[in-house]
Amino acid sequence: MAAASWAAPTTSFAPAPARGPWRTKAAPLPIRTLPRRVLLNAVGESAMVASGDTLLGLYEKERLGLLQYADDESKEERYWETLDADLRYWTRSLRPVQWYPGHIAKTEKELREQLRLMDVVIEIRDARIPLSTSHPKMDSWLGNRKRIIVLNREDMISTEDRNAWATYFANQGTKVVFSNGQLGMGTMKLGRMAKSLASVVNTKRKEKGLLPRPVRAGIVGYPNVGKSSLINRLLKRRMCPAAPRPGVTRELKWVRFGTDLELLDSPGILPMRISDQTSAIKLAICDDIGERSYDFADVAAILVQMLIRHPAVGSEAFRRRYRIDVDSECGKTFVTKLSVHLFNGDTSQASFRILSDYRKGKFGWVALERPPT
């Protein structure tokens, strides 16, 4: 409540008017509704007033607190609204990030043929960049087949990021599972959901007098998003080779989960040409594309510029981590300064350190994408 609108109540000592049937009822005074947080704090106001604060002062403090909260929300909204435009500006003069090794071209054709046999398709995405790890041709390949989207590495994003994506996919009517392939979180839910979605297959087979068969589920996604690790956790044994780098899985492989579910592990698939370089930079930052496709110094500089502006990170996180001040919002300037401070002027080592620290959560677990508004 604004200070100017508050006035101390006055007491009238005039006699009350006589009541009678001829007198109309006075209109009620307008009631101003206080913010909920003010009402919740009302119980302790008397004690606070006794300690020296006035009621007016308490309301003013509450108002300033609400304004600060709204300002923080506004800053966060502006950050996500302008991020893509900033990335397009920053990447316009860089060498394009492109990576399409021979094994991807070969297995992409085989995978499209196998997808025709699938009862349900499980698409694995990186929870830090769900949009950038979605293949642009996936919708056309799947057609009307049932799909489950798995946002892996949920431990690498904040609760706010998770809630935003959960709401986004729920509004689209898309089945989504958050998982941690390293620890196995979400795998049991994924198995149950896949069987449930594909149960109609055996219902139709039974109506035709055919015996039931295992549900076929294809695991697809970009390189290094955790497809093989998720399968190994689901099976509770190491059936598929997995490592924290792109390009480990190089061929299709069927594995059996119990008696009623078959899983197809597939190599990571990428577009032959990545036209959106803002997505390509995010793939490089999150280690979801081959290292030979990008320049470490360029990618690290852009990451610095993103995180300095990020409401949950900021320049203070870099000062605490590396014990040096951030003099400007220029990422290349900071990379150079860090290289002198820690690596005798070697910008490659400084760049690798920054990228590695982000991937390990040293700046906090934050996503690089939010749902489009």
Reported as a single tens digit per residue, the pLDDT across 245-299 is 444 454 777 888 777 788 888 888 888 889 999 999 999 999 999 898 999 999 9
Whether the CB-CB separation of 312 and 367 falls below 8 Å is answered with no
Q: Indicate if 132 and 235 belong to the same structural domain.
A: yes
Q: Indicate if 327 and 181 belong to the same structural domain.
A: no
pLDDT given at position 301 = 97
Reported as a single tens digit per residue, the pLDDT across 309-341 is 998 999 999 999 999 999 888 999 999 999 999
pLDDT given at position 32 = 45
Average pLDDT over residues 84-104: 88
Q: Indicate if 160 and 239 belong to the same structural domain.
A: yes
Q: Indicate if 111 and 239 belong to the same structural domain.
A: yes
The top-scoring range by mean pLDDT among 28-42, 116-130, 171-185 is 116-130
pLDDT given at position 65 = 54
Q: Is the confidence at residue 159, as pLDDT, over 90?
A: yes
The residue among 241 and 195 whose pLDDT is bigger is 195
| Spatial separation of the C-alpha atoms in residues 102 and 100, rounded to whole Å | 7
Token pair belonging to 253: 């492989």
pLDDT given at position 195 = 77
Q: pLDDT category, 13, cuts 50, 70, 90?
A: very low
Of 244, 265, 286, the residue at which a domain comes to its end is: 265
35 within domain boundaries: no
Average pLDDT over residues 132-149: 89
Average pLDDT over residues 148-173: 94
pLDDT given at position 164 = 95
pLDDT given at position 19 = 43
pLDDT given at position 71 = 54
145 within domain boundaries: yes
Which of these ranges, 36-40, 90-94, 180-184, has the smallest mean pLDDT?
36-40
pLDDT given at position 202 = 82
Q: Is the confidence at residue 6, as pLDDT, over 50?
A: no
Count CB neighbours of 362 within 10 A: 14
Q: pLDDT category, 59, cuts 50, 70, 90?
A: low
150 within domain boundaries: yes
78 within domain boundaries: yes
List the one residue out of 233, 228, 246 whose CA is nearest residue 133: 246
Q: How many domains does the chain divide into? A: 2
Q: Indicate if 171 and 199 belong to the same structural domain.
A: yes
pLDDT given at position 329 = 86
Strand, coil or helix: what is 178?
Answer: strand
The top-scoring range by mean pLDDT among 12-16, 258-262, 363-367 is 363-367
Q: pLDDT category, 51, cuts 50, 70, 90?
A: very low
Q: Is the confidence at residue 29, as pLDDT, over 50?
A: no
Tokens 């470490």, residue located: 296
Count CB neighbours of 63 within 10 A: 15
Average pLDDT over residues 211-240: 79
122 within domain boundaries: yes
pLDDT given at position 204 = 83
| Spatial separation of the C-alpha atoms in residues 284 and 102, rounded to whole Å | 19
Q: Indicate if 84 and 170 belong to the same structural domain.
A: no
Q: Indicate if 127 and 197 belong to the same structural domain.
A: yes
- Please give the share of the chain, as a percent, with pLDDT higher than 70: 76
We report the CATH number of the domain holding residue 255 as 3.40.50.300
Q: Indicate if 190 and 130 belong to the same structural domain.
A: yes
231 within domain boundaries: yes
288 within domain boundaries: no
Q: pLDDT category, 238, cuts 50, 70, 90?
A: low
The residue among 271 and 66 whose pLDDT is bigger is 271
Q: Indicate if 142 and 255 belong to the same structural domain.
A: yes
pLDDT given at position 241 = 45
Q: 127: domain range?
A: 101-265
C-alpha dihedral over 127, 130, 132, 134, to 10 degrees? Answer: 120
Of 265, 280, 314, the residue at which a domain comes to its end is: 265
Residues 6+ apart with CB under 8 A from 133: 125, 126, 221, 222, 225, 283, 288
39 within domain boundaries: no
Of 265, 281, 310, the residue at which a domain comes to its end is: 265
Q: Indicate if 228 and 356 belong to the same structural domain.
A: no
Q: Indicate if 89 and 112 belong to the same structural domain.
A: no
Q: Indicate if 89 and 114 belong to the same structural domain.
A: no
Which of these ranges, 49-58, 148-157, 203-212, 218-227, has the smallest mean pLDDT?
49-58
